[in-house]
Homo-oligomer: A and B are copies of this chain.
């Protein structure tokens, strides 16, 4: 990107991360951790390959991310955030919280979706409503991608990939799933909107928020 040529810290930050796609690359690295070029590409539907390569070069030069050789079994290099890049994660998170208000109408017809994009909203909204209960595991699934939510001793942990022995599974379209997570819909309403539900209703109700804090 052309520099703004302003001696202002906000402008200098945007000189580095203000380019198109740049903050979404940070998002992917924040949600996935160290990953391959191809993983990034899959998490950024719509990006041109040359643009991704160019952005990665720029961000590496700016000290925001680094490449590291993968451990022996793998032949490829891994890309991950540096300390400087990790300092951006809370900002990307907050930006995502601000953007939630533009999602309540549901996805546009040609919107793509990846399950791990729900991580930030899930971290914000999900709480362990029964901190004294036994550990519980929930799987959320859209298309072929899954995300695991584990509640244990009052803590909620969200991780990409399928859950090991889920007590409950939620699957279906993104919109009712997000509605449930954010408290806009309860489980019955989400099911009525097409969400598929299996397993322990108790587990779902333990994790999902009771009220809707989004404006």
Query: Which residues of A pack against B, CB within 8 Å?
Result: 1, 3-18, 20, 23-24, 27, 45-46, 84, 87-88, 90-92, 94-103, 107-108, 110-114, 117, 120-121, 174-175
Contacts and interface: CB of A to CB of B under 8 A. Distances in A.
Contact of A174 (B7, B11, B17, B114): B7
B11 A24 contact: yes
17 contacts: A3-B108, A5-B111, A6-B113, A6-B114, A7-B111, A7-B175, A8-B117, A10-B27, A10-B96, A10-B99, A11-B117, A12-B103, A14-B23, A16-B99, A87-B98, A91-B95, A94-B94
A174 to B, nearest CB: 5
Q: How many copies does the complex hold?
A: 2
A147 B202 CA distance: 58
A66 to B, nearest CB: 16
Q: Is the interface of A mostly helix, strand, loop or mixed?
A: helix
Interface centre among A96, A113, A114 (most CB of B within 10 A): A96
Task: List 7 A-B pairs, minimum CB-CB distance, nearest first.
Answer: A13-B99, A7-B107, A8-B117, A9-B99, A9-B96, A12-B99, A12-B102
A95 B14 contact: yes
